[in-house]
Structure 1
Amino acid sequence: MSALQLTRPLAFIDLETTGTNVATDRIIEIAIIKVMPDRSMNRKVKRINPGMPIPAATTAIHGITDDDVKDEPTFKQVANELRQFMEHCDIAGYNSNRFDIPMLVEEFLRADLAFDISDRRFVDVQKIFHLMEKRTLSAAYRFYCDKDLENAHSAEADAFATFEILEAQLIRYEAQLKPDVDALAVFTKEDDYVDFARRIVMQNGVEMFNFGKYKGRPVRDVLKVEPQYYDWMMKADFPLNTKQKLTEIYTNMMLKKL
């Protein structure tokens, strides 16, 4: 029987948000369940005032209303507390590589607070589920844990269910999955992307645009010929993380000219 083997804490995160657009939507609830190498757990759950109305269609999913968060702190007010809680942690979640982590990084950028991800490993439990069984968190919970997920779309319930699913996956796929974060991060890793929104990807060590009229073209080649494309992207409604990575590429390109 395989049990998760940890060399440092693994933080299971789940977010409830105003919507699914990483660039324009905001976090309204975050739950973090930090599993320590000795199997002890620490939890942090925060309701957050997003500074914008919560759409009725979104409230219908998670049940959180404007009144529920109007007296809660903003993300900027709790950002440092959250960063400290997740310090030296790897990060796991359900669809976290495509949504929760990019959304969290955006919020830290808006708060002008550095959140270093360079030495973190990411484990996406949904990716394991899809790779192994080819379906929602509730379905995965029923499939792997033989339980019904109560309080679905409660961030804490979802985060803890994700932890239980990963444990069950390690037992079910003992012959195929190694129970350590290095192996799980490699197994759930997707394409080699530069920014979380995947507007820029790496191909053979070269940053390439992954959208629009320049899809498949090297970023540096495009910016050399059409530098105004950089200005357009910086003014357009792209995630801050995308703009940050584009600026790094552009700055390095300019420095090499000096």
Structure 2
Amino acid sequence: MELKLHRPICFFDLETTGTDICKDRIVEISILKVYPNGNKESRTWLVNPERPIPPQTIAFHGITDEKVANEPIFKELAHTIYNMIKDSDLGGYNSDRFDIPLLAEELLRADVDFDMKGRVSVDVQTIFHKKEERTLSAAYKFYCGQVLENAHSAEADTNATYEILKSQLDRYDDLENDIRSLSEYTTRKVNVDFAGFIVKDKDGDEIFTFGKHKGAKVEKVLEQEPGYYGWIQNADFPLYTKKVLTAIKLRKLNNKLA
């Protein structure tokens, strides 16, 4: 089943130096852009992470320091990548918890003001885990009847993710062929930031999910303990979390001035 699209969607996959969203870096990124008319555009880049790639990570994806030594650093690619995805929804495998947060960090470090406003994301892994509980390779075999060659190469994983989603729509009648509906289905919780340090409560208000203010409303904490904002900004939190917290603080200030 082909996707019913009202706007483009970019399926993408990252290979990285590790799994720490704040500290690790991209070494390969592949993007498959699918347009509402069915046309596709695909790009893959190797990226110099400006740091050694750990041996255990090399064993996973096979990308060595030597392979990326003469490749561009992410900052040199950031605007090209952003221009490819800026008008699109996003899709991936485990993308809501890893690929999108890490890509956001890389873009913000490169001074590209990325956010998810006006777009949605579809995490194909969540559909798979809700329905079948398997890995990407098993999902590809289960849904598409094929063996995933070159697993853990960004391009192979990206294309497999796109094919799996189409097959999932064929298999499950209760899945609506609509990107916003699929996004809602694959959303695990209502995060305000990607990392889940700030979420919305049942009333739709932002609350902290960590530390001494866990469960407290963000606006109330910022009002009663202004220094907490500065502590987060200077601590080892994701850049996107800091960006979201600043937006909440400025919104509260603007409401006071209005």
TM, length-normalised to structure 2:
0.95
Cα shift at 1:245: 0.8
Give the 3-state SS of the residue equivalent to 1:119 in structure 2. Answer: coil
Taking the aligned partners of 1:116 and 1:162, their CA distance within structure 2 comes to 23
Question: Structure 2 matches for 1:1-258, cutoff 5 A?
Answer: 2-173=1-172, 175-203=173-201, 204-258=203-257
Deviations 1:55-98 (A, max 9, x none): 11111100111111111111111111111122311110001111
Cα shift at 1:171: 0.8
Cα shift at 1:20: 0.9
Taking the aligned partners of 2:4 and 2:250, their CA distance within structure 1 comes to 41
Taking the aligned partners of 1:134 and 1:31, their CA distance within structure 2 comes to 25
Letter in 1 for 2:188: E
TM, length-normalised to structure 1:
0.95
CA contact (8 A) 2:9 2:34 kept: yes
Taking the aligned partners of 2:185 and 2:238, their CA distance within structure 1 comes to 26
Taking the aligned partners of 1:194 and 1:169, their CA distance within structure 2 comes to 28
Taking the aligned partners of 1:6 and 1:253, their CA distance within structure 2 comes to 36
Give the 3-state SS of the residue equivalent to 1:79 in structure 2. Answer: helix
Alignment length (residue pairs): 256
Taking the aligned partners of 1:210 and 1:116, their CA distance within structure 2 comes to 21
Return closer, same or farther for 1:36/1:198 CA change in 2, 3 Å cut-off. same
Deviations 1:30-67 (A, max 9, x none): 00011122222110000111111111111110011111
Letter in 2 for 1:125: V
Taking the aligned partners of 1:58 and 1:105, their CA distance within structure 2 comes to 21
Cα shift at 1:251: 2.7
Letter in 1 for 2:118: D
CA contact (8 A) 2:10 2:91 kept: yes
Give the 3-state SS of the residue equivalent to 1:161 in structure 2. Answer: helix
CA contact (8 A) 2:148 2:160 kept: yes
Give the 3-state SS of the residue equivalent to 1:30 in structure 2. Answer: strand
Cα shift at 1:205: 2.0
What percent of counterpart residues are identical?
52
Cα shift at 1:255: 4.1
Cα shift at 1:257: 4.6
Letter in 1 for 2:156: A
Taking the aligned partners of 1:73 and 1:52, their CA distance within structure 2 comes to 13
Taking the aligned partners of 1:206 and 1:85, their CA distance within structure 2 comes to 33
Cα shift at 1:165: 0.6
Give the 3-state SS of the residue equivalent to 1:5 in structure 2. Answer: coil
Taking the aligned partners of 1:132 and 1:234, their CA distance within structure 2 comes to 39
